[in-house]
C-alpha cells in the first residue's frame, strides 16, 4: 500500500498508475467510526466518475477506469484506476456559501456569498487539520502561474458543478479539490471529486440563510452520535458502534445523493467472473 487516509487507501499499480480505493468506512468528529456503511465506497467512486465525466470539457482528470474484476471482489466497484500525477500540495476549496468557517461581520452560517471564492488550505497529515492559506502563501508554495491556474480552474469547476447540482434541487455550498501535474506539465483534476465527503450539499428547498444547514449525509450520523448515543465527544473515548437503523439511514442518504445528482440508481456491484471450466459444448 502507498498510503491511506481515514476512509481511503492508495495502492501502486505500475510506474504510471495507482489504484484509489474508497472504503465503506465513515468518519465523524475526527474519528473513524467502528461501523461501516455498506455501499458507501461504491457510491463515492461512482459519483466521482460521474462528475469527472460531467466536467471533462472544463478540466482533464486522472480517471482511467473503475476497476472491475480481476481486481479482488472486495474492492470491485469502489476502486479507481488513475494516472499517477505529481500532486500539488494545496487543497483547493471553492465556496459559494458560508459553512463551517469563521464568519465575518454582517454574515452568518448558511448565507450565500456575493460570488464564489477560492479558500485554499494546507494538506494536513492524518489527525491534523488543514490550515487556511492566503493566496500569497499559495504563490510562495507553488509559484504565481500555478497558483493563478489553481484558483481559476477551482472556481470554474465549482461554477459548473453548482449549476448542475442546482438543476437537481441541490445547493453545492463548497467543495475541496486536489490537482496534480501530468507528464506533459498540464494541470489535471485528481482524487475523489464532488462527493458528500469532499463537498457540502444542501437541499435547496430546505435552505434558510442565516443558520446552520443540514448537510446531506453525515448530519444524520452526527446527530445520532451527539444527541442519542450517549457518547461524549470531548471525552477522548472512541465513538460507539452505530445501530442498524442509523447504518440504514446513513446508507440511504448516500444513495439518495447519488440518485438525485445522476438521475440513476447505483449500479449493482460487479460480479466476479466464474472461471470454473464449463462442461464441453456439443
Ligand atoms: C492522492 C490520498 C488515498 C491517502 C496521493 N493520481 C494521483 N497521482 C499521485 N498521487 C495521488 C493521486 Cl490521486 C495521491 N492522494 C491522496 C488518497 C489515501 C491519500 F486514497 N495521495
**To which residue does cell 487539520 refer?**
129
Nearest CA to ligand 1 atom 16: 191
Residue-wise pLDDT tens digits, 174-209: 999 999 999 999 999 999 999 999 999 999 999 999
Which atom in ligand 1 lies closest to the alpha carbon of residue 84?
8
pLDDT at 256 over 80: yes
Q: pTM, whole model, 2 decimals?
A: 0.95
Ligand 1 centroid–CA 234 distance in Å is 31
63-77, 201-215, 216-230, range with the lowest pLDDT = 63-77
Q: Cell digits for 125? A: 497529515
Task: Please state, in angstroms and rounded to a whole number, the distance separating the CA atoms of residues 44 and 78.
Answer: 8
190 lines ligand 1 (CB under 6 A): yes
pLDDT at 279 over 80: no
Ligand 1 centroid–CA 143 distance in Å is 22
Give me the pLDDT at residue 281, please.
63
Which atom in ligand 1 lies closest to the alpha carbon of residue 190?
13
Which atom in ligand 1 lies closest to the alpha carbon of residue 82?
6
Which atom in ligand 1 lies closest to the alpha carbon of residue 191?
13
142 lines ligand 1 (CB under 6 A): no
End-to-end CA distance of the chain: 47
Spatial neighbors of 38 by CB under 8 A, at least 6 apart, are 24, 247, 251
**pLDDT tier at 277 (50, 70, 90 boundaries)?**
confident
Residue-wise pLDDT tens digits, 65-92: 998 767 888 899 999 999 999 999 999 9
Amino acid at each position: 500500500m502507498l498510503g491511506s487516509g481515514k476512509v481511503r487507501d492508495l495502492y501502486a499499480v505500475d510506474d504510471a498508475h495507482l489504484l484509489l480505493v474508497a472504503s465503506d468506512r465513515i468518519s465523524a468528529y475526527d474519528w473513524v467510526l467502528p461501523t461501516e456503511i455498506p455501499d458507501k465506497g461504491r457510491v463515492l467512486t461512482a459519483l466521482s466518475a460521474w462528475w469527472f465525466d460531467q466536467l471533462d470539457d472544463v478540466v482533464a482528470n486522472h480517471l482511467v477506469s473503475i476497476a472491475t474484476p480481476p481486481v479482488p471482489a472486495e474492492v470491485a466497484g469502489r476502486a479507481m484506476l488513475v494516472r499517477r500525477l505529481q500532486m500539488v500540495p494545496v487543497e483547493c476549496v471553492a465556496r459559494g456559501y458560508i459553512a463551517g468557517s469563521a464568519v465575518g461581520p454582517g454574515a452568518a452560517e448558511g448565507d450565500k456569498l456575493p460570488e464564489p471564492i477560492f479558500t485554499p488550505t494546507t494538506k494536513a497529515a492524518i489527525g491534523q487539520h488543514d490550515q487556511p492559506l492566503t493566496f500569497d502563501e499559495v504563490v510562495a508554495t507553488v509559484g504565481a502561474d500555478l497558483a493563478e491556474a489553481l484558483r481559476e480552474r477551482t472556481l470554474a469547476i465549482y461554477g459548473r458543478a453548482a449549476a448542475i447540482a442546482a438543476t437537481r434541487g441541490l445547493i453545492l455550498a463548497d467543495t475541496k479539490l486536489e490537482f496534480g501535474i501530468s507528464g506533459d506539465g498540464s494541470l489535471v483534476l485528481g482524487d475523489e471529486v464532488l462527493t458528500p465527503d469532499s463537498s457540502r450539499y444542501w437541499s435547496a428547498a430546505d435552505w434558510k440563510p442565516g443558520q446552520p444547514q443540514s448537510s446531506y449525509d453525515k448530519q444524520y450520523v452526527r446527530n445520532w452520535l451527539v444527541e442519542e448515543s450517549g457518547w461524549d465527544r470531548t471525552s477522548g473515548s472512541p465513538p460507539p458502534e452505530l445501530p442498524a437503523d442509523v447504518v440504514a439511514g446513513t446508507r440511504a442518504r448516500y444513495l439518495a445523493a447519488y440518485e438525485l445528482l445522476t438521475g440513476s440508481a447505483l449500479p449493482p456491484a460487479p460480479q466476479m467472473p466464474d472461471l470454473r471450466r464449463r462442461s464441453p459444448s456439443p
